[in-house]
Structure 1
């Protein structure tokens, strides 16, 4: 019987209490020495580097090569799924890590061997050893999770996704990538929403890869194809009308100084400044929603130091952000549809490389100056926002992501 997420989390308190009791009447001296040796000999950093090397290739997630790589992955998964797939991991594997001993480590090792993350061993004992640590990190890297070597909640759930579900993801994404590959040009940007990543591709190779924050489920990032045509340096942020009613009213009721603290000013249709205290935030009128709410350039600006524009009917764009901590999360689905970019200054430099007089030094200096500046991108760069939850690279590494918008569940393969 499969645990649901709430039952699993709720039962952790009981599991924690049970863990406080001695699992064995007395741990033998040899057991202690063996565990200490495991911890002493482990190369955690080396295991992380090996895991990241599996996915840090210069092959794009979206390309003709990906179609071929997905075909190979499907041919490997089909007979495995037909034979029954892999086993579920018991709840007792939760929070296992290097040096710990548990009967659940045996099941964990069998699961990791089944998916190719761990080399086949003659005998799987109950110690979470160096090889298990390396395998868990490889699994985490393939699934876009923080590479910690700990069977945390996100890792435990990903381990328990059935092999048949993974094969279905491969089928769907093979068709998705095949449909989109014909649209690709020599140079393009890809936002892969389920992975919350961005790739800058040229000549069939990834030249830059960026962590991103994308739209949450109720404010999804739209799937589209367009062209990047302009960079706004140190932009004003005009709060969308939808956010004025949904978010700004709530913030102002909680903290009447919120607008002042965020350097946001209100202007009427004639350009006159409106005092926030004159607005009834608990019952804001339509005319007041239609005021212009503008945040000044600066460190707190929601756009950060730049906004990257591409034509679309959804009023979405790529941008910098002052909230850098979000890039370190496993599930980066926090925005209202726009896409926040880690290391955006490097992407801006890449986009402007045909503009002649721009380089990384000039981009960084313009950021720091807080100067308002709009620059048109010569040779407009195509951008594709996509939904790819499974892909593979040339060395045979297969990556999966959660079906956050439930398009896999709906069987969607086209988004036109």
Structure 2
């Protein structure tokens, strides 16, 4: 049997298990340099993920401490409910009161187990009692210093609430959690009250919660958990975005369309010595896009092929990166829930391996819950779909809500609180919704997250600059979403010509594109003036004009004009997918070509829509008061943005 280390190294070298998420999330990059810093080597992500020089590898930490299982009938409360924020607010008051009385006692380092006695056990019993895991009798009289059955049961509940291996003993990971300072617990609780209030809105009778830090998915019916699934989520360098939206479609046996970056970096190099690789992974090449004709690979020269003129599509099957099914929903970040052929990765406790999409253990079971008997689907028919490899898309009727959430604390049974590690380091940043930045990095406006994708301007090889293939520069940029009320992200799948811009007011997580474009315009104008500047009277150049050879002067002028065009034409090409900024367009018009006045007028008169933003609740503020504390601002969005394409931001 191969070692864990060899197994992980093998998976790191695998072809492309989750690279399609890289395509969706790559829209975060704004410039080649920023793209490299923000997304690193995301496009090369595979089973565990390709670890680059700037990324710390994830320690899988042994076997999973959670399970994929149906718990229907056990009356278990979910991680998220409509009243979760209020319950956690109540717990905050308890923790603050404990802090005022000295906090938690320190549990000494010892491998305590049932039957042990002494002062260390007394500290353990008191520690468990203060957080609600042990009755007061366990800290009194003869039981105070004994590791009793009650102590063991309370410790097991503590371990379960912290995502630890449940063994009822004080092992090293358990000791570390027992001795986390109460001040840190208070800060964690405070960071999650506003998140719970937002995620808890509009849940409905049936909903799905994916908690990223817990690496778990819950399906909830009638306020009780029906089933839990272990999941694989984005690693710290490629975080999974947080979204709120209904489920849209179940896709059986989906195709996997290779992103252009994967085609260039991984697929084409393997084809330069033959076409066997395409047959091995069951991939076809289509000319021009998904509706184009299938091309015989033998007719292509893979040393000179313009990759963006073709679609490389992996057919349904056991090796397909999406495996048997995927569940789609509206998201500006291009993520989804899906099956995976890399099943062994679920055997690890830390499953932060993906580029942002969410891989589900036992996907057919989740699909069965989502479809809920629709069109006669049941476990047998779903299993049969996987065997037939039939491509089929099923729009979900009565679609359940989905919350891809970031919760590091939430209320648990018996008045206790469950905690998880802040894997993306978002606590204290005000983060509720959107895309976390990679750990250690900030957005262009200095935040730890963005509320909508940043426009993408990836580098394009010179030989392909004029291409307009399926993955090429002819593709439309994702539609910017409108800022509306706080709370829910209601994302449209439509496309438009560019991003919404900020009004310049402080709006956490939104980049001030107006200021950025003005800076670009100023830089462009300065460059233009330098290239076409006319000498003034009295300038030595004027005095020597008579001495200048007219033929040489004309040649120099032609060369200067020739030198201007490449930079400006490249800029114009890059701007094809963006709304025209009047200032920038004016600067470019001096050198390149006149700008359509209608386009400039349209960009110069953006629609103004109200923005509401829910602040994180301060310590001691009730949920009602928090909801009442709404900050109103304005955001500028493209005039052609549809009225129903809105984002409700915190």
TM over 0.5, shorter chain: yes
Which stretch of the first structure deviates more once superposed, 106-115 or 382-391?
106-115
Q: Could you say what secondary structure the match of 2:396 adopts?
A: strand
Q: Could you say what secondary structure the match of 2:241 adopts?
A: coil
Whether the aligned pair in 1 keeps the contact of 2:199 and 2:244 (CA below 8 Å) is no
Alignment partners' CA distance in 2, 1:295 and 1:108: 55
Of the three residues 153, 159, 165, the one matched with 1:146 is 165
Alignment partners' CA distance in 2, 1:321 and 1:375: 19
Alignment partners' CA distance in 1, 2:193 and 2:232: 25
Q: CA deviation at 1:217?
A: 1.3
Q: Does 1:75 align with 2:93?
A: yes
Q: Does 1:363 align with 2:379?
A: no
Q: Does 1:85 align with 2:108?
A: no
Q: Could you say what secondary structure the match of 2:376 adopts?
A: coil
Cα distance change of structure 1 residues 83 and 188 upon mapping to structure 2, 3 Å threshold: same
Whether the aligned pair in 1 keeps the contact of 2:283 and 2:313 (CA below 8 Å) is yes
Equivalent position of 1:374 in the other structure: 393
Q: CA deviation at 1:257?
A: 8.7
Whether the aligned pair in 2 keeps the contact of 1:64 and 1:181 (CA below 8 Å) is yes
Give the TM-score, by structure 2 length.
Answer: 0.48
Q: CA deviation at 1:357?
A: 1.8
Q: Does 1:172 align with 2:191?
A: yes
Whether the aligned pair in 1 keeps the contact of 2:406 and 2:432 (CA below 8 Å) is no
Equivalent position of 1:117 in the other structure: 133
Task: After superposition, give the CA deviation of every residue in 1:16-52 in whole Å (9 maximum; x if it has no partner).
Answer: xxxxxxxxxxxxxxxxxxxxxxxxxxxxxxxx9xxxx
Give the TM-score, by structure 1 length.
Answer: 0.71
Cα distance change of structure 1 residues 150 and 328 upon mapping to structure 2, 3 Å threshold: farther
Q: Could you say what secondary structure the match of 2:323 adopts?
A: coil
Of the three residues 59, 81, 89, the one matched with 2:77 is 59
Cα distance change of structure 1 residues 58 and 106 upon mapping to structure 2, 3 Å threshold: closer
Q: Does 1:229 align with 2:257?
A: no
Aligned pairs for 1:277-316 (under 5 A) are: 287-288=306-307, 291-316=310-335
Of the three residues 203, 220, 223, the one matched with 2:239 is 220
Q: Does 1:272 align with 2:295?
A: yes
Note the aligned Cα RMSD (angstroms). 3.9
Q: Could you say what secondary structure the match of 1:166 adopts?
A: helix
Equivalent position of 2:422 in the other structure: 403
Whether the aligned pair in 1 keeps the contact of 2:232 and 2:360 (CA below 8 Å) is yes
Whether the aligned pair in 2 keeps the contact of 1:241 and 1:290 (CA below 8 Å) is no
Alignment partners' CA distance in 2, 1:318 and 1:273: 33
Equivalent position of 1:28 in the other structure: none
Equivalent position of 1:7 in the other structure: none
Whether the aligned pair in 2 keeps the contact of 1:354 and 1:379 (CA below 8 Å) is no
Q: Which runs of 5+ in 1 are unaligned?
A: 1-47
Task: After superposition, give the CA deviation of every residue in 1:280-325 in whole Å (9 maximum; x if it has no partner).
Answer: 8xxxx99447754433333333222111111222221101123333
Aligned pairs for 1:375-390 (under 5 A) are: 375-390=394-409
Alignment partners' CA distance in 1, 2:282 and 2:176: 42
Cα distance change of structure 1 residues 409 and 215 upon mapping to structure 2, 3 Å threshold: same
Cα distance change of structure 1 residues 249 and 409 upon mapping to structure 2, 3 Å threshold: farther
Alignment partners' CA distance in 1, 2:392 and 2:159: 41
Whether the aligned pair in 2 keeps the contact of 1:59 and 1:206 (CA below 8 Å) is yes
Q: Could you say what secondary structure the match of 1:64 adopts?
A: coil
Task: After superposition, give the CA deviation of every residue in 1:37-68 in whole Å (9 maximum; x if it has no partner).
Answer: xxxxxxxxxxx9xxxx9xx7433322222123
Cα distance change of structure 1 residues 296 and 66 upon mapping to structure 2, 3 Å threshold: same
Q: CA deviation at 1:338?
A: 0.8
Q: CA deviation at 1:146?
A: 2.9
Alignment partners' CA distance in 1, 2:160 and 2:269: 38
Q: CA deviation at 1:98?
A: 5.9
Cα distance change of structure 1 residues 173 and 243 upon mapping to structure 2, 3 Å threshold: farther
Whether the aligned pair in 1 keeps the contact of 2:115 and 2:147 (CA below 8 Å) is yes
Whether the aligned pair in 2 keeps the contact of 1:194 and 1:401 (CA below 8 Å) is yes
Q: Could you say what secondary structure the match of 2:251 adopts?
A: strand
Cα distance change of structure 1 residues 203 and 128 upon mapping to structure 2, 3 Å threshold: closer
Equivalent position of 2:368 in the other structure: 349
Alignment partners' CA distance in 2, 1:184 and 1:207: 15
Alignment partners' CA distance in 2, 1:155 and 1:303: 36
* Length, aligned pairs only: 355
Whether the aligned pair in 1 keeps the contact of 2:159 and 2:174 (CA below 8 Å) is yes
Alignment partners' CA distance in 2, 1:157 and 1:278: 58
Q: CA deviation at 1:228?
A: 1.6
Q: Could you say what secondary structure the match of 1:348 adopts?
A: helix
Equivalent position of 1:42 in the other structure: none
Q: Could you say what secondary structure the match of 1:191 adopts?
A: strand
Higher normalized helix content (fraction of residues): 1
Aligned pairs for 1:240-279 (under 5 A) are: 240-242=259-261, 262-264=281-283, 269=288, 271-272=294-295, 274=297
